[in-house]
Amino acid sequence: MAPTDSSAQQASDLSADRDLLKQVALGSAAAMRDVYARCSARAFAIAVRLLPTRADAEEVLQETFLDVWRRAREFDPARGGLETWVTTIARTRAIDRLRSLGTVSRMVDGVAQQPPPVSATPPSPDDSASAAQEQARVRVAMAQLPPEQREVVLLAYFDGLSQSEIAQKTGQPLGTVKTRARLALEKLAVLLEARPVSASG
């Protein structure tokens, strides 16, 4: 395809994206389903990569598409296509959630032990009920990490930094950062493997 044809196709695609989001802004459920079908997989993948648990990622996915519904009129094709706009919202929402957690809440169970989910399903009531207990357990386990390992974990899961970004921020070689992250997750996984006995019996 000639460059001019490629440019024309891109302009056409962006125009179609704008028209689709105009329909979303007008309240079209069908248009919203189209947006979800096109963008949900990428948005969820970002949330899963950044967040400690599947439940957190699922909530962020829901928040992302609520934002899309509310902010459809704000879409500007000059700044990129529909997928780029939606995934930017998802990333922002995921980082906001990390910063609001206040702890590494169930991080290891989510990152080191759970495989990436195939599809989004709502978190179970049991997950919500046990959140406070899990947060306390993770805080205790985190306190047992060497400071340099704890720093890597916090930068990764609170600030959403990649290992390369952590290396740049801390001035440590990338290999050192990778080793510290691996050792931290392995130790946390061991510390959190044993479930506490319920006080109620």
Ordered per-residue pLDDT tens for the chain, 201 residues: 455 555 656 666 788 888 999 998 888 888 898 999 999 999 999 988 888 788 888 888 888 988 898 888 888 888 888 999 999 999 988 888 777 654 444 454 444 444 444 444 444 555 544 555 666 677 777 788 888 988 888 887 666 677 778 888 889 898 888 888 878 877 776 776 544 433 333
18-23, long-range: CB < 8 A, 24+ apart: 18/75, 18/77, 20/82, 21/72, 21/73, 21/75, 21/82, 22/72, 22/73
| Residue 106 Ramachandran class (φ > 0 left, ψ -120 to 50 alpha, else beta) | left
Query: Model's pTM, two decimal places?
Result: 0.48
Answer for the pair 185, 150: CB distance below 8 angstroms, yes or no: no
What's the burial of 157, exposed, middle or buried (CB within 10 Å: 0-12/13-18/19+)? buried
| Domains with residue ranges and CATH for the chain | 3-101 (1.10.1740.10), 125-193 (1.10.10.10)
